[in-house]
Structure 1
Amino acid sequence: MSSPTRPEALAPVEPEAGTLVHTTADRQLAAEHWLAAAHPNAAQVRWEWVHRGVALLPLGTLFSAARIPTRLVRAVAEAERRSPNDCLAAAFKGGPVIYDPHSEHYYALVPGSMPHEWREAAAEWPRWGAALLGRDTLLGVPRVSATAAAPGECPSHWAVPMPSAGELCDPMAVATFVTSATWFVDREDQARS
């Protein structure tokens, strides 16, 4: 009986002269500092991440969030035959998304100030349970390294990790995704009727 073949390991890539290479740890630390800057007390944010696994951060300054119900995400993921996380990563081009299994919502992080046209599109969202969250709202943001629910810890985690400090989801991509998702859900509901 022959042994299964293992794929060849890729050779290390040598950066060209003058190219900066940032490790995952460097990018996570930068993202952590950037997220903590949204709160008036960054030390409190770090304490909450260490002791609770999630910190409450105010929205509407550095970033806001689009709340998307799991049902909408699953409808698109099933239509595309992808996992919800892969579906969101592709739709938002790697922009950061938090998943909260308790509320059964995804939260796509978007810029703090949104164009007027985008807000008009989001006005239709509440009937689907989706919403644009901004000023006067706190969002539970898991520590940057929490990319899956860990036993005994806060279940909120990054469905799509923050790629780097300040890199957010494109608002139009989020609006397009929610619009598409509502179309898929409407179709599913009609098929059941």
Structure 2
Amino acid sequence: MRPEIVSGAERRLAVEHWLLSVAEDIHRARQDWRTEGVALLRCGGVFGVVRISETIVRAAAGSEDTATVDRYLARALLGGPVFMDQENLRYYVLVGTSTGRRPEWERARDDAEFMGSGHYLGVPALDATSPEARMYWCVPMDGPANLASAPAVSQLVGNGRLRLACGEAPSGGWADAQE
């Protein structure tokens, strides 16, 4: 029996369909991705989101360099999907909906917050993978339902908070040295 080969275009289409399954209006969301680059999707159905401040993420990565931070996120979250809103200076990590039941997310904090049922989120088009866009995928989704693990997200946030508490300002050295 031969293993099936799935092209990148097929995988991208499967991710698109999976994400659009939580849109109020699939046709409008698809059109918004084409024209605006962002579609409004509902959290809490097939995925939740952990919204993390840029300060925490850059502290965890030990760098201010966008490319270095993006590489760090891919490693730290084991390939879990992340996008960045550069206007609001927030990173959004897609996670399972059960993540919100973990003790660290029971109350909202300014630097990191779980968003589940009752939240709507502007999600960038899947082809927005460059920091030149206002919102872009730092770590694109690899396939439908391939989400970041809750422990990896908790560790990232904890590391960022610890580094800030210890006065370790991001530079360019720490994450670069991890290459």
Superposition TM-score, scaled by structure 2 size: 0.86
Query: SS in structure 1 opposite 2:62?
Result: helix
Structure 1: tracts of 5 or more residues without a match: 1-16
Query: SS in structure 1 opposite 2:127?
Result: coil
Moved over 4 A (4+): none
Could you give the per-residue CA deviations for residues 86-137 of structure 1, whole angstroms, max 9, x where no partner exists? 1111111101001000010100000123363x1x1124660x5210111111
Superposition TM-score, scaled by structure 1 size: 0.80
Give the alignment partner of residue 43 of structure 1, picking from 27, 39, 45. Answer: 27
1:171 equivalenced with 2:150 (yes/no): yes
Deviation at 1:146, TM superposition (A): 0.9
Query: SS in structure 2 opposite 1:113?
Result: helix
1:72 equivalenced with 2:51 (yes/no): no
Q: In structure 2, what is the equivalent of residue 159 of structure 1?
A: 138
Separation in 1 of the partners of 2:127 and 2:114? 25
Q: In structure 2, what is the equivalent of residue 31 of structure 1?
A: 15
Q: In structure 1, what is the equivalent of residue 96 of structure 2?
A: 111
Is this contact kept in 1: 2:43–2:116, CA < 8 A? yes
| Equivalent residue letter for 2:70 | N
Q: In structure 2, what is the equivalent of residue 95 of structure 1?
A: 80
1:121 equivalenced with 2:104 (yes/no): yes
1:142 equivalenced with 2:128 (yes/no): no
Deviation at 1:149, TM superposition (A): 3.8
Is this contact kept in 1: 2:38–2:125, CA < 8 A? yes
Is this contact kept in 1: 2:100–2:116, CA < 8 A? no
Query: SS in structure 1 opposite 2:95?
Result: strand
Structure with max Cα Rg = 1
| Equivalent residue letter for 2:43 | L
Could you give the per-residue CA deviations for residues 121-174 of structure 1, whole angstroms, max 9, x where no partner exists? 124660x52101111111110111110144xxx510101001111100001110
Query: SS in structure 1 opposite 2:19?
Result: helix
Change (3 A) 1:103 1:89: same
Structure 2: tracts of 5 or more residues without a match: 170-179
| Equivalent residue letter for 1:102 | E
